[in-house]
């Protein structure tokens, strides 16, 4: 498969790129600056410089042509304010989905967040985290409404940097919990090669089921 990943220099994306490259997939990662390219090359991914906060659809869509799948793993990151939660976590996801549709890329996976399920619209002096969850929820809803995409929404719990266990709980509803970034990347890699999970919104935390079995159990 050829897979294009938005937010290609993120912690989950770099892990995913390494997994996909090792599996023999052709991977491209969209990054904001050329300075990030070396880390992608080391991970086995082709770096594509395109700032999703400023790019137009006509600029982005050609980078998606010929791809079999797309993964939105971008995020404004810690230290960013309310405005960038909207411009990256929501608007950039919508732009990436537009580009996938324009390029004929149907398989589309979004890395969301566990708290996006019931995120209310932020009011007044709401926290940056509340704005983040609302932006994720809005991005998810936009993708879920697109008939032109075979989408899967993945909502991981609290992310940690410990070594992956390969054991997870993956379901429509999991309750709260944490999950390693290694295990998130492993689940994404499995979802990419399992089209039967299209149309599902899934929560992910650490658990006791091997990743491959957890993904296979979701296929009707």
Q: What secondary structure does DSSP assign to 132-201, as a single string?
A: HHHHHHHHHHHHHT-TT-EEEEEEE-EEE-SPP-SEEEEES---S-EEEHHHHHHHHHHHHT-GGGTTEE
134 a catalytic residue: no
Cα radius of gyration (the chain) = 16
Side-chain-side CA neighbours of residue 103 (13 Å): 25
Of the chain, the end-to-end C-alpha distance in Å amounts to 23
Helix axes 93-103, 128-144, angle to 10 degrees: 20
Evaluate whether 70 touches 109 at the Cβ level (below 8 Å): yes
Catalytic residue, from 132, 154, 202, 207: name it: 132
Q: Which residue has the tokens 């619209």?
A: 121
Active site residues: 132
């Amino acid at each position: 498969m050829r897979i294009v990943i938005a937010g290609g220099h993120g912690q989950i994306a770099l892990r995913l790129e390494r997994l996909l490259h090792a599996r023999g997939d052709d991977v491209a990662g969209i990054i904001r600056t050329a300075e990030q390219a070396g880390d992608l090359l080391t991970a086995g991914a082709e770096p594509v410089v395109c700032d999703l906060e400023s790019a137009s659809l006509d600029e982005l869509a050609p980078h998606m042509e010929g791809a079999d799948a797309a993964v939105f793993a971008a995020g404004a990151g810690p230290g960013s304010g309310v405005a960038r939660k909207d411009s990256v976590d929501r608007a950039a996801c919508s732009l990436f989905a537009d580009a996938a549709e324009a390029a004929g890329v149907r398989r589309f996976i979004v890395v969301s967040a566990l708290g996006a399920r019931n995120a209310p619209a932020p009011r007044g002096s709401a926290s940056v985290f509340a704005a983040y969850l609302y932006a994720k929820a809005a991005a998810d809803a936009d993708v879920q409404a697109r008939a032109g995409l075979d989408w899967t929404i993945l909502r991981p719990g609290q992310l940690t940097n410990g070594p992956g266990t390969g054991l997870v709980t993956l379901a429509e509803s999991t309750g709260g919990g944490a999950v390693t970034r290694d295990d998130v990347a492993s689940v994404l890699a499995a979802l990419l090669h399992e089209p039967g999970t299209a149309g599902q919104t899934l929560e992910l935390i650490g658990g006791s089921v091997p990743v491959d079995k957890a993904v296979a159990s979701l296929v009707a």
